[in-house]
Amino acid sequence: MTARRLSSGGRIDRSQTVTFRWDGKRLQGFAGDTLASALLANNQRIIGRSFKYHRPRGVMSAGVEESGAIVTTGRGARSEPNVKATQQELFEGLVASGQNAWPSVRHDVGAVSGLFSRFFAAGFYYKTFMGLPPFETGRGTGIWMQYEKLIRKAAGMGSASRLPDPDVYDHAHGFCDVLVVGAGPAGLAAALELAQQGRDVVLVEQDFELGGDYLAQSDPQAITRRDTQVAALRAAGVRIMTRTTAFGLYDNGVAGLLERVTDHLASPDASLPRQRFWTMRAGRTVLATGALERFISFGNNDLPGVMTPNAARSYLNRFGVLPGQRIVVATNNDSAYAVAGELAAAGAQVILADARSDAALVAPKGVELRQGLAPFNASGGRGVSGIEFASQQGGAWRVAGREACDLLLVSGGWSPVINLASHLGARPIWDSALACFLPGKTRSDIHMAGSAAGVWQTEACEASGTAVARQVIGADTALPAAGGWQTPIAPLYEVRVPGRRTKAFVDPQHDVTGDDVRLAHQEGFVSVEHLKRYTTLGMATDQGKMGNIIGLAMMAEALGREIPQVGTTRFRPPYTPVAIGALAGRHTGPHAKPLRRTPLHDWNLRQGAVMTDAGLWHRPWYFPHAGEGMAEAYVREATAVRETVGICDVSSLGKIAIQGPDATEFLNRIYTNPFAKLPIGRARYGIMLRDDGIVMDDGTTWRLGESDYLMTTTTTNAGKVMVFLEELLHTRWQDLRVHVTSVSDHWAGVSIAGPKSREVIAPCLEDGEAVTNDNLPFLGVRPVRLKGGIEGLIARISFSGELAYEIYVPSGYGEAMMALLWPQAQAQNGVLYGLEALGALRIEKGHVTGAELDGRMTIDDAGLGKMASPKKTFIGDALRRRPELTDPNRPQLVGVFPKIRSDTFNAGALLTAPGEDSGFGDGWLTAVTHSPALGHWIGIGYIAGGVAAWEGRRVLASDPTRRGPVEVEIVPPIMFDPKGDRMHG
């Protein structure tokens, strides 16, 4: 291939030189170039290396269907792999390089893998997994892991940057009456007609210029027509979005759009996002998405210098690049004739080989027409240098001569872009006369126009756009018929000559060959969906835009069926790749999820809290003194709670007001334990199950009045419990007169725990007598007034096992409450404690949390079976009695001590008998801590059969990936103060 820039013509601006770097070399192009056109103008042949075989690849197309010129752009954190050079706009300073090659695409050491290509045939991975030849001796995954490393390295595309993405992406929402996708002749006509009829129209175009096929035409009238249409559109108020791809269609008129805002700019404004992800809601959608020219499967059809005629036409007429000097154009349809003539007029020597013998068209001026010839085998090392032809003789292809060339243009027909309609379930219908899939019946709000509907001629496409627009408006207008060629296309997907082996690609981007497709068929993959997955045909970033139909045709031939009987795979979004960053938008880093702060958040920070995540909440983890780390701080805090007093922010607990005449009955049904006779002014710990008998959540519920309760839930399950209560009341127990209200954010709450807790609280109350043992016994609840008149609630509940209280005041009074409590606590040598100390205290007491109630455990598993009332029924009562859930050998909650008390262990370790540490073990550790009270590490967890089954037996906490096994003892789960004397005191 000897490509060169012409001195005139095209839509590039020759007065604006653009300098860019390709594989380290400084090259020049012009404003208006794509990277591909600029590389061609610089006569760069090898742009990429193929996925498996590292074969050299060049520019194969001029659009999104590109399978050859796939490159990496940018540097460092902004390095972007797998960019199609045909889509990348050239800009000053653009840096691009080849990928999947070392040291470069021109000299690639990995190309040797082509010599072992039979190992890389379809299904290679699966066969190796199974220990079949050629790696039979490996038998299993061990040796596979070794091969995999090498294969992964050899087979691949570009590598993503490992650095955080420095760019910003935005989400945006738009609305319109009609969305028109595609700004070629049909799309422009449709948008204009709709706008002139008063519709609010959004026109999206993936290219940086409007015009579509107009831009590639040689006739100056085409550009005039395009300019007139665009001016009229702007005058009519059409909202135009270029560099914007409609990548997916969804229900209710929603289209996903990706707008590339700065990818074409040398120095973008820092305030601009790199890309915008649009959710566009349209009343109607017109798809004028055009058609893609496809190739034919024949030998070496992937060599640099093989491209489609339409691509050559685009490079010639739009970019002023003549991509070859000695050109062979091979076609099976009329569309290549004009291109051949234009190339000849530009000075190239052109041979046009038409596979048909009956074409009515005459040879364009300066073109040598040869009928009945098809391409069979291209030759050349680093680019095409010749082509062997074949002709049909007696039903088979026979070699029929050879011709030297530096550019081989191959057209196997056109495939309308029906991808978007297919997203919504429209089934493609095979049109055997046009040899393509046409959009089937679309939904009533989706309309196809132009060549996307199989209309081939420009004037007919314009008419199609206008007619579709009238249909959208409601007029009863006939649409132009599909087609438009003088001589019918002669379906041609593959050219093979008996007795000659060639490497013929069906999906060049994934290196899938015709032999792979046949191999898959031989091995029994007859469904097109299985063919796709087994060979990976159509699964590369181009999603088989050019190759899928060839693969289908081969499969049809192998099966002895017609293409419609083989079917096609369904297209799915996105039409072209979408950066994950665009999907994430601004929801990254700290904005990935909402942050919930308790009313005491700022106060905690002022006291030096180190925070940690608890669901969406930030909660104090520990409050370090100078020089302390987490390990020292939490031990000090937990010790102080047992010895004096500690205060902990518990505002994040879920709080639900349950009110109404039937509130008592409601609670009695959802909790496993009885609530019917809970007196006013008392709290009760309750457990609720799911319908299937598994524990859902636990917490205390306080009776504030006759028909007025305050339920607390765990922090993490607050939302889930609320939804479940609402579901029960709205859908299941519609006769119950109960109202539930989430009041989690209404209250600031603290736990004051420790033997000195009463001495801390009493001076803070207007009536200190409120917290005497008589006035507020264990599990008592009452309204309380803090000094300064702050109204709140106090309950005597303990999670730590100490004498303890929870005080709730309205959120806005949280800091005022702390201003009273904290000085009193300090006077008692008290501490603030965080989640780590809270965890240590509750593990010592064997209290369960989300780590133990993980959605798999029954109430009996958690050692709380006594809380399931035998005298009443409740949610989950029936299904908790399933045999699987009552097996005595189920895991049961236990405490765990290290056998040698100075040993430590990790949460997540498996509990096993010695020598039985394969498989899932007999149990597992859910939580561990150093116990300040006991002076050594302890844990809780589950083990089959519980304490009784393991008394006196040796047990290991097996932790093979972290620290190895530790011998442990299984003990009852309440490891400290088992009688509970301290909290009743």
Partner 1 sequence: MIILNCPFCGPRDHSEFDYGGDGSITYPSLDAPVEDWHAAVFLRDNICGVQTETWQHTQGCRMWLLVERDTMSHEVHSIRPAHPGHAAVLEGKV
Q: Considering beta carbons, is residue 41 or 875 the nearer one to partner 1? A: 875
Using DSSP bridges, classify how beta strands 326-331 and 436-438 pair: parallel, antiparallel or unpaired: unpaired
Q: Does 405 bind partner 1 (CB under 8 A)?
A: no
Stretch touching partner 1 by CB under 8 A, among 133-141, 250-258, 393-401, 481-489:
250-258
CA distance 27 to 571: 38
Q: Considering beta carbons, is residue 190 or 729 the nearer one to partner 1? A: 729
Q: Does 847 bind partner 1 (CB under 8 A)?
A: no
Q: Does 251 bind partner 1 (CB under 8 A)?
A: yes
> Coil, strand or helix: which one is 154?
helix
Q: What secondary structure letter does DSSP report for 222?
A: H
Q: Least distance to partner 1 from the beta carbon of 876, Å?
A: 9
Pattern 252-281, partner 1, x by CB under 8 A = x-x------------------------x--
Q: Does 769 bind partner 1 (CB under 8 A)?
A: no
Q: Does 41 bind partner 1 (CB under 8 A)?
A: no
Q: Least distance to partner 1 from the beta carbon of 253, Å?
A: 9
Q: Does 237 bind partner 1 (CB under 8 A)?
A: no
Specify whether the CB–CB gap between 714 and 649 falls below 8 A: no
Of 368, 877, 967, 977, the one binding partner 1 (CB under 8 A) is: 877
Stretch touching partner 1 by CB under 8 A, among 49-57, 191-199, 720-728, 959-967:
720-728
Q: Does 593 bind partner 1 (CB under 8 A)?
A: no
Q: Considering beta carbons, is residue 468 or 722 the nearer one to partner 1? A: 722
What is the torsional sign of CA 62, 66, 71, 75? Answer: positive
Specify whether the CB–CB gap between 105 and 49 falls below 8 A: yes
Stretch touching partner 1 by CB under 8 A, among 57-65, 244-252, 483-491, 572-580:
244-252
Measure Cα distances from 743 to 170, 357, 652, 675, 932 in Å: 34, 82, 11, 21, 35
Stretch touching partner 1 by CB under 8 A, among 119-127, 194-202, 498-506, 724-732:
724-732
Structure tokens at 778: 């264990």
Site for partner 1 in 941-970 (CB under 8 A): none
Q: Does 570 bind partner 1 (CB under 8 A)?
A: no
- Written as one letter, the residue type at 798 is S
Q: Does 786 bind partner 1 (CB under 8 A)?
A: no
Q: Least distance to partner 1 from the beta carbon of 416, Å?
A: 23
Site for partner 1 in 414-433 (CB under 8 A): 425
Residue pointed to by tokens 């601006």: 13
Task: Residue 71: name the closest of 93, 92, 94 by CA.
Answer: 94
Of 875, 896, 909, 933, the one binding partner 1 (CB under 8 A) is: 875
Residue 74: how many other CB atoms lie within 10 Å: 16
CA distance 38 to 12: 10
CA distance 260 to 204: 12
Q: Considering beta carbons, is residue 409 or 857 the nearer one to partner 1? A: 857
Site for partner 1 in 276-305 (CB under 8 A): 279
Specify whether the CB–CB gap between 265 and 91 falls below 8 A: yes
Cα torsion for 776, 778, 781, 785, to the nearest 10°?
40
CA distance 285 to 421: 10
Stretch touching partner 1 by CB under 8 A, among 573-581, 694-702, 877-885, 970-978:
877-885
Q: Least distance to partner 1 from the beta carbon of 672, Å?
A: 12
Q: Does 677 bind partner 1 (CB under 8 A)?
A: no
Total length of the chain: 985
Which residues neighbour 882 within 8 Å (Cβ) at sequence distance 6 or greater? 693
Q: Considering beta carbons, is residue 172 or 396 the nearer one to partner 1? A: 172
Q: Does 873 bind partner 1 (CB under 8 A)?
A: yes
Q: Which residues of 216-245 are buried (b: 16+ CB within 10 A; e: fewer)?
A: bbbeeebbebbeebbeebeebebbbbebbb
Q: What is the DSSP string of 823-872?
A: HHHHHTT-EE--HHHHHHHHHHTT---TTTSSSS--TTTTT-GGGS-SSS
Q: Considering beta carbons, is residue 224 or 873 the nearer one to partner 1? A: 873
Of 882, 899, 901, 963, the one binding partner 1 (CB under 8 A) is: 882
Site for partner 1 in 726-745 (CB under 8 A): 726-727, 729-732, 734
Q: Considering beta carbons, is residue 279 or 707 the nearer one to partner 1? A: 279
Residue pointed to by tokens 């040993």: 903
Task: Residue 930: name the closest of 960, 900, 905 by CA.
Answer: 905
Of 13, 231, 250, 855, the one binding partner 1 (CB under 8 A) is: 250
Residue pointed to by tokens 């965080």: 834
Residue pointed to by tokens 């314009």: 462
Of 691, 745, 769, 951, the one binding partner 1 (CB under 8 A) is: 691
The footprint of partner 1 on this chain (CB under 8 A) covers a number of residues equal to 25
Q: Does 592 bind partner 1 (CB under 8 A)?
A: no
Which positions lie near partner 1, rule CB under 8 A? 250-252, 254, 279, 425, 669, 691-692, 723, 726-727, 729-732, 734, 873-875, 877-879, 881-882
